[in-house]
Amino acid sequence: MGKLKIQGKELRAIGYPEGPVISIAMNVMEKNYKHHKKEEAMEILKSVLAAPVEYKNDAVLALIAEQLMPKETAEGAGISLNQTGIQFNVFGAEHIEQGAMHQMYMAAKLPVAVAGALMPDAHAGYGLPIGGVLATQDAVIPYGVGVDIGCRMCLSVFDIDPKELVQKEAFFTREIHEATLFGSGAQFKQASEHEVMDDKAFFELPLLKNLHGRAWKQLGTSGSGNHFVEFGVVDIAKKDEVLGIEAGVYLGLLSHSGSRALGANIANYYTKIAKQKRRLPGESNNLAWLRLDEEEGIEYWMAMNLAGEYASACHHIIHDKISKQLGRKPLKRVENHHNFAWKETWEGNEVIVHRKGATPAGKGILGIIPGSMTADGFIVKGKGETAAVNSASHGAGRLMSRTKAMQSITHAALKNELARHGVKLLGGGLDEAPFAYKDINLVMQSQKQLVDVVGKFTPKIVKMDGTAPKPWKKTKAEAEINGE
């Protein structure tokens, strides 16, 4: 059976209005219903056109339905930004683009802003910049958290000689391939069992109830963009009392991914509500917030925390599968997340700290800051630096956009760089090439006052999504999940 192809004139013929919905509907159907007969696909499209509101929470068809529903006018009163914003510190300013600086200055002018900081890997995002940290009073900003809610790093350290990565390369390659799935729509045919799927929030919130089935099939998948699972060498120069591993060289398993479609749907749904309740001027409208004493804010907080637990479960399933195959339990598992909001104490008061692409770095808190597919990553311990609102970078940060990377980096250059570092790449493309990222060593130098390095991770077998970036304009969710 050939792949589904739909033409714009066919959509217009069944009543689809002229505009973006035409191309969106074509892309959604050809990607997600590519093996359906055209007649079946057209019937689905007719149903969405007839009652778009019934599909507004559908994991796939919501993109089409949103374009067909009447545009809602904001119900809340207009809110002005403060003339002068709160003071915030910038780390590694020489490495940060102006777009990210502008977004942080705008966030600092929010009436609910209390404290902030910008990390050295920062670049522009939607609402709060990626690498931005913002503390607010009694308010949570969905786009201050981001679309890939609870995206995280997870490292398992095994008492195995890392020379085995070369001696048994085929074995380790197979285990990565079999442990997870990559790709934005990736789903398992057989869902994994995990207690997170029994969380009461899935059954109390209508939005989450409708997302439960797809979330279950995506449990343990890894997504696309800059997400990865990789084997490498863990080097511990000296024993740290918090990390608790003797000095030596070990085999490590490191993964990076988030809450998949579940988090993206939560972010977009509650951002829309926040914008209706609080109308902010111009591009600052992406910083609209929900109060934690109102129903929608309470719901978002519940959904956000569930998405964080779900993201963690995805990592644990991957690591447990591989641990079983290795026949070893890890000596230590280090895990930290970003794209989240925490209740913390600031100057004696409880505040909400948003870390969008920033690692928690409270005193004595462990975390992982990765480099690129060839660059070292670092196991770190937070120093609790208040100037950074107890935060650090979440990686090296992009030096160039995906489009620029695709245009300026050659396959030969990538192949040579991989060979130079002795890295085997499974999937991955030019958009994720090491040259597209900032120098992780410069980034780490810029945050010496924020974290202590207690270990190093050197990638050796790297698995990423091998799908080429989409040729059409990405949604905000896709762009941020991909690290753009």
Tokens representing 317 are: 């399933």
The answer to whether 461 and 228 are in contact (CB under 8 A) is no
Residue pLDDT tens, the chain, 484 long: 568 888 888 888 888 887 788 888 888 888 898 888 888 889 899 888 888 888 888 888 999 988 888 665 445 668 889 988 999 999 999 989 899 999 999 999 999 999 999 999 999 888 899 999 999 999 999 999 999 999 999 999 999 999 999 999 999 999 999 999 998 888 998 878 899 999 999 999 999 999 999 999 999 999 898 999 999 999 999 999 999 999 999 999 999 999 999 999 999 999 999 999 999 998 899 999 999 999 999 999 999 999 999 999 999 999 999 999 999 999 999 999 999 999 999 999 999 999 999 999 999 999 999 999 999 999 999 999 999 999 999 999 998 888 899 999 999 999 999 999 999 999 988 999 999 999 999 999 999 999 999 999 999 999 999 776 654 444 444 455 444 4
Q: What is the pLDDT of residues 70-117, one digit of tens each?
A: 665 445 668 889 988 999 999 999 989 899 999 999 999 999 999 999
CB atoms within 10 A of CB 178: 11
CB atoms within 10 A of CB 177: 14
The answer to whether 473 and 263 are in contact (CB under 8 A) is no
Sequence ranges of the chain with CATH classification 3.90.1860.10 = 149-259+309-327+362-481
Question: Cα separation of 341 and 481, whole Å?
Answer: 17
Q: What is the pLDDT of residues 167-178, one digit of tens each?
A: 999 999 999 999
* Four-residue CA torsion sign, 454, 459, 464, 470: positive
Number of residues assigned to the chain: 484
Q: Give the bridge partners for 369, in sequence order.
A: 378
| pTM above threshold 0.85 | no
The answer to whether 255 and 370 are in contact (CB under 8 A) is no
Q: Please give the CATH number for the structural domain made up of 149-259+309-327+362-481.
A: 3.90.1860.10
